[in-house]
Chains A and B, each alone.
Chain A
Amino acid sequence: DADVTQTPRNRITKTGKRIMLECSQTKGHDRMYWYRQDPGLGLRLIYYSFDVKDINKGEISDGYSVSRQAQAKFSLSLESAIPNQTALYFCATSETSTDTQYFGPGTRLTVL
């Protein structure tokens, strides 16, 4: 079984809809991250969490919110989706000692 899973893997939605992307991990890591990837722009950090009670904004948090429901679960929400949020979204976890990050398979989101 995969150590980091994301659901859904693909999603097409309409402008203005609320969307939730979910991430679960079995690696036992405290640290979790949400990134988006756009062609030519690389990976950009949206939000990160170092433990269940810790939530931090990344470089592009506007229009997004997160919830850390448990050590193993970290969800990303788009309250009112817009077309420029069309992207590939990755969840990642990391070990504390080196911060080596391990990525989920990604969610491809299309906002029409």
Chain B
Amino acid sequence: GQNIDQPTEMTATEGAIVQINCTYQTSGFNGLFWYQQHAGEAPTFLSYNVLDGLEEKGRFSSFLSRSKGYSYLLLKELQMKDSASYLCAVRDHQGGKLIFGQGTELSVKP
């Protein structure tokens, strides 16, 4: 079966660092994605990890441990515009499909 877990909600302060965790149990694994979605808008691609380790892209970094079925998204120097839902998605082992978690709603406070 497929199961992806993320916290439902998180709150952080402007200028701070926040880590959003994602754990997954899937019948196969072929890569993990993070997407950002502002309310009422389309999800937009943030990062893709297929090998273990940390991928850094500006203020955002994503980490993957395949043996632990675990990933996190790290957001540094938080800005108010980072308030959004963050979706973790696993690429199906047969390729083509993504399985999405329910998303983590991040609120950034002044």
Binding site for B on A (CB under 8 A): 31, 33, 40-45, 48, 50, 58, 88, 90, 94, 98-106, 108
Contacts and interface: CB of A to CB of B under 8 A. Distances in A.
| Among all A-B residue pairs, the 5 with the closest Cβ atoms | A103-B42, A42-B102, A43-B100, A42-B100, A103-B43
Interface residues of B, number: 21
Interface string B88-101: 00010001111011
B98 A101 contact: yes
A98 B50 CA distance: 9
B96 A101 contact: no
A45 B100 CA distance: 9
A103 B31 CA distance: 18
Given A101-B45, A101-B98, A103-B44, 16 more contacts: A31-B96, A33-B97, A43-B43, A45-B97, A48-B97, A50-B96, A94-B96, A98-B31, A98-B91, A99-B30, A99-B91, A99-B96, A99-B97, A100-B33, A105-B41, A106-B41
B48 A42 contact: no
A102 B97 contact: no
A98 B48 contact: yes
Contacts of A88: 40
A48 B96 contact: yes
B73 interface: no
B87 interface: yes
A43 to B, nearest CB: 4
30 contacts: A31-B96, A40-B102, A42-B87, A42-B101, A42-B103, A43-B87, A48-B96, A48-B97, A58-B97, A90-B42, A90-B43, A98-B50, A99-B30, A99-B31, A99-B95, A99-B97, A99-B98, A100-B33, A100-B45, A101-B33, A101-B45, A101-B98, A102-B45, A103-B42, A103-B44, A104-B42, A105-B41, A105-B42, A106-B42, A108-B40
